[in-house]
Amino acid sequence: MQLGRSDTDLLAILSSEIAKAGATRIGVAVSGGGDSMALLHLATALGERFRIEAITVDHGLREGSTAEAEFVQKVCSTLNVPHATARWTGWKGEGNLQKRAREARYSLISEWAKRRKLHVVLIGHTQDDVAETFLIRLAREAGVDGLAEMDARFERHGVTFLRPMLSASREDLRQFLKRHRRDWREDPSNENEMFERVRIRRAIETFEGLGISTESLARVSQNMRDAREVLEADARCLGKALVTQVQGDLLIEREGFLFAAKELRRRLLVKALRWVSNADYAPRRAPVEELDHAIQEGRNFSLAGCMITVTKTRIRIAREYNAVRDIVEHSPSWDRWIVDGPWEMGMQVRPLGEPALAGLENWRESELPRKSLMSSPSVWKKDVLIAAPLAEPSSSWEAGLKSPDFLASL
C-alpha cells in the first residue's frame, strides 16, 4: 500500500495511541463499516512488529449481518489477519435493545481478546461520534462528565480498549478507503431515522449553516473533558482529606463534606458508592442529589446497594444487607470479598444476616456496627456457621477486599 500525506497523518495518529499503550499484540473490532474497515487497513500498514487480529460481532438482529461478517472474514484472509466472528444470542425482547447489544458486544470482544492474549483492542470511533454523542447527551441535560469527550483509552472486563481516531473525521477514513480502492459495507440502520443517532446526524448537517460543525462540537467536548479532569483532581483531594476506610465501610467527615462545593460533594459520593457496591456504573444524578439533600438534613438514605447512615459528625457508607442477601457462592469469592481459610467441599459464602449475628458473643467488639456486619461475608456448611471473619475474627479465617483501598482507588 502506497501512502500519501493524509495517509501518513492517519498512521501517525494510530501509531501514537498504540505507542502510549505499549502494545504489540493488537485486536481490531471490525463491523464491516467504513470506520472500522479503515482502521483495520491502517493497523495492517503499521509493520511486521505488530501482531494484528480482528473480530466481528454478529448481533443477528437484522438481515444481512451474517453476510457483513463473512465480508470482513474474506478481507482479513487477503490481509493474512486472523479473524473471528462472535455471535450474540442473548436478546429476549426485553429491556433497552441498544444498551443490551452494546454490553454484549464488549463482553464478547473482551472474552476473545483474553483468549488471544491481546494487549489492546481498537475501536473505530471518530470525531463525528464525539460530536453526535455530545448532542445526544446535551438533549438529556447531561453535566460536565456526560458532555466530555469519550475516553481515548478505557478498560472493560479486564481488557484495554483504544479509540485512536477521535481526532479524525468519518470522511477522512472513507477517503482513505477510496484512495486505496478498499471496500466497506454500509449499515442500513445508519439511514433509519427511528434511531436517535441518525436524527442527530441530520441535525448537525443543519447546524453547519449556523457555523456549528462537527469540529466545533468536538472541540467543546474536549473542553468539557479538560474541565472534568480538574474536577476529578479536586474530588480526589477532597476524598483524601475527609474519608476514612474501616474494613469495607467508608466514613466521611460531615462538616468538611457540607462545606465543599456541590459538584465536588456529588463526585465524592459517586466514587464512594461505586467503591462500596463494586458497581461498574455510577448511579444517576437525580438520586445522588437526593442523597446529598438527605445528608444536609441529617437523614439516613439507601442508594445503589449501599446504606448511608448520617450523624452530626460523620457519614457512613456501607453495603446494604438487602443488596447481598440472596448472593450465595460455593467458592471463597463473594460480592466484593475474598474469604481465606481452611476451605472444604460443601462450604458456601453468604451474608451473615441478623439471626446469625445475634448468636455471636463478641460481635460488639468488632470495629463495624451491626448493620454493616449483617452484610459481611460468612462461611457456612449446610446450616452451620463456620466463620464470620469481620464479626468474630479468628486465626483461621480472614476476609479481604477484592478492590484496592478506597484512597488508592482515587
Q: How many alpha carbons lie under 13 Å from residue 185 in its C-beta half-sphere?
A: 19
Parallel/antiparallel/unpaired status of strands 333-334 and 337-340: antiparallel
Residues 257/265, Cβ–Cβ less than 8 Å: yes
Contacts of residue 181, defined as CB under 8 A and 6 or more positions apart, other chains included, come to none
Parallel/antiparallel/unpaired status of strands 51-58 and 83-87: parallel
Q: Is the dihedral of CA 159, 281, 275, 231 positive or negative?
A: positive
For 175-262, list the strands marked E by DSSP: 243-246, 249-253
Binding-site residue ranges: 31-36
Angle, vertex CA 223, rays to CA 288 and CA 201, nearest 5: 85
Residues 6/175, Cβ–Cβ less than 8 Å: yes
Contacts of residue 24, defined as CB under 8 A and 6 or more positions apart, other chains included, come to 49, 50, 51, 119
Residues 322/294, Cβ–Cβ less than 8 Å: no
Rounded Cα distance between 396 and 306, Å, is: 29
256, 269, 275, 278 from 237: Cα distances, Å:
12, 13, 17, 21
Quickly list H helices, 140-212.
Answer: 144-147, 170-179, 196-207
Residues 18/163, Cβ–Cβ less than 8 Å: no
Binding-site residue ranges for ATP: 31-36
For 264, the grid coordinates are 465536588
- Determine which helix (DSSP H) or strand (DSSP E) holds 380, and give its type and residue range: strand 377-381
Residues 17/45, Cβ–Cβ less than 8 Å: no
